Structure 1
């Protein structure tokens, strides 16, 4: 019995160690790979789990996710950590299905930092023809010499009152 317990604990430890050693380095070598990974990791069909370890890997430890919204009829912002985002949005993404697709991007870089203005459309299923939401992500990134980190992700959804300007939409 003691041998079986020891073997079981060993296998659990090896399994946990193997999970911790997943190499995500290829996901953050360029701005393009980092942004593509951001969109892909939050996207999935209804009932499909998200890879929150990969999501957290994209962001510096002190990064903020900042949505603009309305509260009590006033425009406001909310500051979240990656953990806050997972707690407030993770279950909704899985229960409803959510695919966010970049439709246009403007990137500005200066040495080791970058700003990406990324227009997106959101769908409940990748088979949907019409988005249920559109908006713009403002993504600030930092390169530490080995990889790109998301420092802040700041976004606003389009509304009837504030449509996305034509300059930030794909040319027809």
Structure 2
């Protein structure tokens, strides 16, 4: 009897989550006038991610397009050492990222350019290690920062969704390995 009740609970929860997810996804797509080709391929999704956060000083980002890239519940997770040398992470929703970084991006200018990509796919899930360089202006010759974005994506049969972006910046004691600096 306990086994039957447990199975029924699991089925109910699964059906309920599935119904909620479909409602959220369809509603976000209906409300959006965004060109779905931006998320049709893995490559277009990654390129859109970099393009949407990159702009000169005092140029507003297309935050609707930014949010369109992410599956509901997705997280952006920066990591790095604190003042005591301990690695820490911060978990943010796309909305929280916009609130915490949007003004800085607007006031300072920011361009993040992909310099290398390593892709691993199994079924409908993909893990991308995307090495990047960051500039304050597109005309800058030297980046002020480099690092690696670990991007997890889901292909639902129609489009690509970003599930998480987990990243860390390059430091003198943690340089980007050569195998992640090759050209695309």
Q: Tell whether the structures are fold-level matches, with TM greater than 0.5.
A: yes
Which residue in the other structure is 2:180 paired with?
168
TM-score (norm 1): 0.86
**Which residue is equivalent to 1:50?**
61
Superimposed CA distance per residue, residues 34-76 of structure 1 (whole angstroms, 9 cap, x where no aligned partner): 0000000000000000000000000011000000022342210
Provide the residue aligned with 1:6 in structure 2. none
How many residues are treated as equivalent by the alignment? 152
Q: Which runs of 5+ in 2 are unaligned?
A: 1-30
Q: State the distance in 2 between where 1:84 and 1:122 align.
A: 21
Q: In 2 relative to 1, CA 160–21 (structure 1 residues): closer, same or farther, beyond 3 Å?
A: closer
Q: CA deviation at 1:21?
A: 4.4
5+ residue gaps, structure 1, are 1-19
Q: Are the equivalent residues in 2 in contact too, given 1:114–1:140 (CA < 8 A)? A: yes
Q: Which residue of structure 1 lines up, in the alignment, with residue 163 of structure 2?
A: 151
Aligned match of 2:9? none
1:122 aligns with 2:126: no
- Say whether the 8 Å CA contact 1:24–1:54 is kept in structure 2: no
Find the counterpart in structure 1 of residue 41 from structure 2: 30
Rounded Cα–Cα distance in structure 2 between residues aligned with 1:60 and 1:68: 21
Alignment root-mean-square deviation, CA: 1.0
Q: Distance in 2 between matches of 1:165 and 1:134?
A: 12
Could you tell which deviates more after superposition, 125-134 or 104-113?
A: 104-113
- Structure 1 pair 62/125, CA: closer, same or farther in 2 (3 Å)? same
CA distance in 2, matches of 1:138, 1:21: 27
Which secondary structure does the structure 2 equivalent of 1:142 belong to?
strand
Distance 1:24 1:156 in 2: 30
Equivalent position SS for 1:129: coil
Question: Deviation above 6 Å: which 4+ runs of structure 1?
Answer: none
Instruction: Measure, in 2, the Cα distance between the counterparts of 1:79 and 1:38.
Output: 18
Q: Map 1:79-158; keep pairs closer than 5 Å.
A: 79-158=91-170
Q: What is the alpha-carbon distance in structure 2 between the residues aligned to residue 78 and residue 86 of structure 1?
A: 14
Return the alpha-carbon distance in structure 1 between the equivalents of residues 32 and 53 of structure 2: 21
Q: CA deviation at 1:105?
A: 0.3
Q: What SS does structure 2 have at the residue aligned with 1:164?
A: coil
The aligned residue for residue 71 of structure 1 is 82
Do the aligned partners of 1:112 and 1:142 also contact (CA within 8 Å) in 2? yes
